[in-house]
Amino acid sequence: MNAELIAVGTELLLGQIADTDGQYISRRLSELGVNVYYHTVVGDNPDRLAAVLRLARKRSDLIVTTGGLGPTYDDLTKELICREFGRKLVRDEESLARIRAFFEASGRPMTENNLKQADLPEGCTVFANDWGTAPGCAFVSGSCTVAMLPGPPRECRPMTDYRLVPYLAARADGVIRSDVVRVCGIGESAVEAMLRPMMEHAVNPSVAPYCKLGEVELRVTARAGTEAEARALTAPAVEAICLALGDAVYGVNVPGLEHAVVEALAAKKLTLSTAESCTGGLVAKRVTDVPGASAVFLGGVVSYANEVKQNVLGVPAETLAAHGAVSPETAEAMARGVCRLTGSDVGVSLTGIAGPGGGTAEKPVGLVYIGLCVRGGTRVSELRAGSVNRGRDDIRSLAATRALKLVFDAVK
């Protein structure tokens, strides 16, 4: 199946918001073995949207639209799709009841224009929206499947996961299974070099790398008649990848690094605390994003100022005077101090220069020291994350990722 994604909204063309929906849907469709060949962005203009739909219908088996399902006059996606595909718009009473209930629960009056959100193509499969008001839908016309999703990412992503993907999977021939191997500590080019023979010859299962800041994700996808047959195809490939990459692999089919850290701490019945300077609490934020983190995370200190490092974490004044805030000695003292302060088994600290200013030849922008204290034993790792194309946010994010990986490696 070949797919085309059409994002509808003038605000996208004006650069007011980015089309993150398209990126997310593309990745989810790839897991189903769907080839996404085109991404199109079109404004809230009837003639241009109609032209885009006619072109997409000629070249794609699956059209997925995002946006244009709201209550305002310029939300025209459903109307134009119905016109182009010869469908009537009919009111779906169940969707209308859900919309009314949404407004009643929120204590807001429902205006008349919200009624149009319950108008859907005749004979379509309705995608109930548990995250907003506008329902999505899908229908088949000849050899083309058309699906419509709301535009706001907080609605579009769960609608993709819990409505669109099951709808398409139920209509697919056989079973498609994907396993995700998550890697941290080596870059994409190094991963590719180590796995090139496997990736070049992999067909079923296929092996596809995806790179994000500080991490690499390897998706192993197989198509088979049954789930058991698909699993039998992916399992040896996953095992081979883990063997080749060793300790750089932090998990298979885990949502992310912070989840792996929380699970590893819980399995060992260990607790964690953080002492952060340059990252400003980012490590603590990522850990506490994980449901159940309260069982392992005791707390954190954002010790941006030297006075806080000294008076709260107990970093000796002579250490700061002799070595500076950005130093292995200070990072070690911070990690020890937060363990002492909170009573945690594991303490991780970060102190560095996130930029854009403040760097020197000796201590450039991007230099970060990460201290780790595990039941009294300490060590410090140095990260040099600065480069011409890395800004403050990237440096902080890379440092937080490296800190989480050090914690994971220490307690796994």
**Of the segments 174-183, 186-195, 347-356, which one has the largest average pLDDT value?**
347-356
CATH of the domain at 91: 3.40.980.10
Query: 238-265 in b/e burial notation, b at 16+ Cβ within 10 A?
Result: beebbeebeebbbbbebebbbbbbbbbb
Judgement on whether residues 11 and 155 belong to the same structural domain of the protein:
yes
- Please indicate, yes or no, whether residues 19 and 159 belong to a single structural domain of this protein: yes
Residue that is last in its domain, among 137, 170, 203? 170
Amino acid identity of 231? R
Whether residue 29 is found in the same domain as residue 165: yes
Mean of the per-residue pLDDT values for the chain?
94
The gap from C-alpha 182 to its chain's centroid, in whole angstroms, comes to 13
The reply to whether the predicted model has a pTM over 0.75 is yes
Residues 51 and 146 in one domain: yes
**CA 260, 263, 267, 268 torsion-angle sign:** positive
Which span out of 25-34, 192-201, 286-295 was modeled with the highest average pLDDT?
286-295
Q: Which residues contact 192 (CB under 8 A, 6 or more apart)?
A: 199, 209
Q: 406 and 263: one domain?
A: yes
Is the domain of 144 the same as that of 206?
A: no
| Total structural domains within the chain | 3
**266 and 205 inside one domain:** no
The last residue of one of the domains, among 252, 276, 309, is 252
The predicted model gives 393-402 an average pLDDT of: 96
Q: How far is CA 311 from the centre of its chain?
A: 37
> Cis peptide before 364, with omega less than 30 degrees from 0?
no
Tell me, yes or no, whether 294 and 223 share the same domain.
no
Q: Are 225 and 265 in the same domain?
A: no
Domain holding 242: CATH number? 3.30.70.2860
Both 198 and 283 in a single domain?
no
Claim to verify: residue 211 and residue 147 sit in the same structural domain:
no
- At 132-175, the pLDDT tens digits run 889 999 999 999 999 999 999 999 999 999 999 999 988 887 88
Same domain as 162, residue 64: yes
Residue numbers of the domain that contains 338: 257-411
Q: Domain with 367 in it: what CATH number?
A: 3.90.950.20
Last residue of a domain, one of 129, 144, 170: 170
Least confident of 278-282, 298-302, 391-395: 391-395
